[in-house]
Amino acid sequence: MYLPHELIRRALSELSDVHPFFGLTYLVCKQGNLPVGTMTRFPINRAEEEFLHLYYKPDLKSKFYFQPFRTSSRAGRWLSRKYPFSGSQKTRTTGRLAAAFLHERNTDLWGWNRGYIKVLRAELDIDKTERIPAFSLSVWLYRHKDWPDRTNASSIVRFFLKEFHINLDEQGYSSCLRFAVSGGARQVLLWPLDGPWTRLVGATGWEEKLH
């Protein structure tokens, strides 16, 4: 059973003001168990490339990745194969978000700074962005997942927290994530089929750039 397109469209709308870092690099590092306060070898460019292919390439025949996050233009939602090695790398190594990391330049050594949660929250505050909606992010990531019949919003978020190793500190008061779910979305009406991506794209009003 699959998540309905209406729920995915709602998730896309909620994610449209979120900085791409939080749906890409942050999750890649959490899934990869990046250590806190020390560095380890972590080929982050390659890890992001694999992550984008898995979660952000709804049409496997396409040359592009699709990201639903904040952008200055509709065309900016479509990312080239070079993105992990260019735009995302720049975000990780320069500017405010770079302070969240420990990194030895020109190496694959990466780690979280001990104060990384404060750095990430500060970025959201500067951007005047509310906490990232965990349910909407989960809906987007797991849009092709076959769920059990009795799946609800809470179980989807729990699955997300477990898969991405979101610890108790990141679930607390200073969390970057918002866990509350609106009443209408708590009971998820699943569909028997995983609908075609092109129909979903058309419903969003965004220009298709699948090839």
Query: 30-34, 54-58, 106-110, 170-174: which has the minimum mean pLDDT?
Result: 170-174
Query: CB burial class (10 A; 0-12, 13-18, 19+) of residue 61?
Result: exposed
Q: What pLDDT sits at residue 203?
A: 46
Q: What pLDDT sits at residue 39?
A: 98
Q: Which pair of structure tokens corresponds to residue 9? A: 């469209």
**Would you say residue 186 has pLDDT above 60?**
no
Report the distance separating Cα 31 and Cα 149, nearest Å.
26
Query: 80-89, 110-119, 133-142, 147-156: which has the minimum mean pLDDT?
Result: 80-89
Q: Which residue has the tokens 């699709």?
A: 66
**Would you say residue 105 has pLDDT above 80?**
yes
Q: What pLDDT sits at residue 118?
A: 92
**Would you say residue 52 has pLDDT above 60?**
yes
Q: What pLDDT sits at residue 210?
A: 47
Query: 4-8, 118-122, 123-127, 178-182: which has the minimum mean pLDDT?
Result: 178-182
3-state secondary structure the chain: CECCHHHHHHHHHHHCCCCHHHHCHHHHHHHCCCCECCCEECCHHHHHHHHHHHHCCCCCCCCCEECCCCCCCHHHHEECCCHHHCHHHHHHHCCHHHHHEEECCCCCEEEECCCHHHHHHHHHHHCCCCCEEHHHHHHHHCCCCCCCCCCCHHHHHHHHHHHCCCCHHHHCCCCCEECCCCHHHHCCCCECCCCCHHHHHHHHCCCCCCC
Q: Which pair of structure tokens corresponds to residue 14? A: 């909620």
pLDDT digits (tens, 9 = 90+) for 61-77: 778 888 899 887 666 67
Q: What pLDDT sits at residue 201?
A: 55
